[in-house]
Structure 1
Amino acid sequence: MRFWLFQSLLLVFCLGPGNVVSQNSSTPLMMNGVLGESVTLPLKFPVGEKVEAITWLCNGTSIAFIKPEEAKSPFIHMTNPKWGERLSFTQSYSLHLSSLTMADTGFYSAQITTETSVTLSSYTLRIFKQLRNIQVTSHSRLSGNRTCEIHLTCSVADPDDNVSFRWQVSGNILLSEPNLTISWDPENSSEQNYTCVVENPIGSNLSFSVSAQRLCEGVKKNPYPDIKLIMIVVPVICIVFIVLLSIFVWRRRTGSHRLSPRQCQAPAESTRNIENVSVSPANSTVYASVTHPNRETEIPTPMKNNDSVTIYSTINHSKESKPTFPRATALDNVM
């Protein structure tokens, strides 16, 4: 309580009639810190004036009060214990903050009180992560004009809005975006390497290069036939198919009317096998002797006398004067 009373009285005394509050810069000084590392907020004193007190604030809240002493060590009081040992000061009373966390991001200011004025120095502290794990994914395909079309996407682990991407080839920037689409001719183009560069405000940067020739190795040959080749091959196939089908149908038709040699000999053989046929007009009895060929051989041979078969048929004539061909009324007897 005594200290706060002393500080308040000191500020009232310093800001008495005739004292002016001024700011070193109209805009805060932008300071960038790396997560886990340290940062120093520089402090400059008014020229030619004796500094009575220094008050450091974070987001409008006091974190330290310093009273310089010429003969002995300065008086430093930590007004916010949450900073602990992470907060320290240099010989010029600049604020040094170590083991930075994302929560340290914010607005800082230093109020310098002299015998005649109060000067305010402002800072904006931003905390960034080191870039890591850059990756480039690609997708290649053969376009309609027979060139290799490549889609590239560049990324890093845990990106934020302050990460910048750019694509470059041979040192020239092509595009300031993470995605890039290029067209490469496998037959006429030379080897090209495309590089993705990623940066953030703390100077951390990563790069990754890809080869267009390697990415297009799998798509150099068109998986689909040329349209001109299709126009030539398809009609030829159709004509060949029609010709083969016509030959097949013609052979089927001509083959159905052609008799084999064995079929042509069958009637003759049947005629030769019927011997000794006699008809008796009185009894209308037909005597026929049929000799069966030997089926085991190609040339039929007549049977022996004891192997012959005699067929007896009886034909009855009607009473009409003109004989007609009668129907057989009795089944042939085969001996």
Structure 2
Amino acid sequence: MLGSPACFVFIFLLCQLTGSAASGTLKELVGALGGTVTFPLKHSVNQIDSIIWIFNTTTLVTIQPNTTGRQANVIVTQNRNRERVDFLHGNYSLTLSKLKKNDSGAYRVEIHSSSLQDPFIQEYGLHVYEHLSKPKVTMGLQNIKNGTCVTNLTCSVEEGGEDVTYSWKSLGQATNESHYGSILPISWRLGKKDMTFICEARNPISSNSSNPVSAQKLCEGALRDPLASIFLKLLVVVFLLSAVALVPVILIMRRERGKVSEFVEEKNRMDTHQETFNHNPPSGETSEYATTSHRNKTTPEENPANTLYFTVQIPPKMEKHHSLPRSPDSPNLSTYENAT
């Protein structure tokens, strides 16, 4: 009788320890975008009442195992996951297909049993990665001194650039060398044997390599680039100096052109004033003297001493006419008459 309580206590503690030990530690899983991942489930629970799969804080699937004469009942809480979840035959390990980036996160499975005081729990961490694109190699600032080209090469990827590691392979030397990191410092002496560099990028699900990069081509291009840069700078300086020199010339020309225009305008005003003065004499009477010679009608009796001359005053309104006004009732008058 005394042994029965002690045995009961021992079995109870054993069950507690077994249930506690069955709860495994966190398992890290990785998956490829669009691929499939399986969450392995290992347990020693004989009598299972229910299994619950949880994503972050949301229930993903609830399973009621099959009993005698009954099939397991699987309840998927979200319709969008109905076609993506599956379970291995004879096991309740979860398989998730058509992975998306937002599938990354924390997963947990809980096995509830009447034989356990606490549920069996297993936790997982899933990270979904993209396949890496081809790495791109760019060259940094170059320094060529004493015939040696020194620069840095940088390796990078545009897609799938999460948790990426980089490594370099240097070919063309007596012993091929490796370097880890996205930046590779190189030093190559002009005229020496060419060296080739290849960058390899990796993430947990894929890897990809860059095109070979030639040190000779890089450094020979660097030699040409400074000359082109210097020539371009000289052109810019010459252009700026020419522009600065032309500014005062343009200002002087515009000022002289303005003076010439003012002179022409002043001259035109003076000519116009003079013309107006000539065509508009002051008002008043204008005296005209006219004599008429009658050479063929001169008689011997004419005496110059007895000749009478008349002065005719033309009114201002008649200045535009070249003859005296004629009255229809009077005979023509002559400015030259003989008096005896």
| TM-score, length of structure 1 as denominator length | 0.54
- Alignment correspondent of 2:254: none
Identity of aligned residues (%): 33
Given the alignment, which residue of 25, 28, 33 partners 2:26? 28
1:56 correspondence with 2:15:
no
In structure 2, give the amino acid aligned to 1:172: E
Unaligned regions of 5+ residues in structure 1, if any?
A: 1-16, 225-335
Deviation, structure 1 residue 120: 0.8
Given the alignment, which residue of 25, 28, 38 partners 1:40? 38
Across the aligned residues of Structure 1 and Structure 2, the Cα RMSD in angstroms comes to 2.9
Is the 2:85–2:97 Cα contact (8 Å) retained in structure 1? Answer: yes
Structure with the higher fraction of residues in strand conformation:
1
Instruction: Write out the 4+ residue segments of structure 1 that deviate beyond 6 Å after TM superposition.
Output: 220-224
In structure 2, give the amino acid aligned to 1:208: N
Name the SS for the 1:195 alignment partner.
Answer: strand
Name the SS for the 1:208 alignment partner.
Answer: coil
Deviation, structure 1 residue 95: 1.1
Structure with the higher fraction of residues in helix conformation:
2
- Alignment correspondent of 1:287: none
Unaligned regions of 5+ residues in structure 2, if any?
A: 1-11, 228-340
Give the direction of change, closer, same or farther, for the CA distance of 1:160–1:140 in structure 2 (3 Å limit). Answer: closer
In structure 2, give the amino acid aligned to 1:184: W
For 2:146 and 2:92, how far apart are their aligned partners in 1? 68
Deviations 1:272-312 (A, max 9, x none): xxxxxxxxxxxxxxxxxxxxxxxxxxxxxxxxxxxxxxxxx
Name the SS for the 1:50 alignment partner.
Answer: coil
Deviation, structure 1 residue 200: 0.7
- Alignment correspondent of 2:144: 143
- Alignment correspondent of 2:331: none
Deviation, structure 1 residue 222: 11
For 1:23 and 1:107, how far apart are their aligned partners in 2? 21
Is the 2:194–2:215 Cα contact (8 Å) retained in structure 1? Answer: yes
- Alignment correspondent of 1:209: 212
- Alignment correspondent of 2:329: none
Q: Which piece of structure 1 moves more, 151-160 or 19-28?
A: 19-28
For 1:22 and 1:205, how far apart are their aligned partners in 2? 44
In structure 2, give the amino acid aligned to 1:173: S
Name the SS for the 1:85 alignment partner.
Answer: coil
Given the alignment, which residue of 170, 178, 181 partners 1:177? 181
Given the alignment, which residue of 68, 72, 76 partners 1:78? 76
Is the 1:197–1:208 Cα contact (8 Å) retained in structure 2? Answer: no
| TM-score, length of structure 2 as denominator length | 0.53
Deviation, structure 1 residue 177: 2.3
Given the alignment, which residue of 187, 190, 205 partners 1:186? 190
1:166 correspondence with 2:163:
no
Deviations 1:114-134 (A, max 9, x none): 442231111001111111132
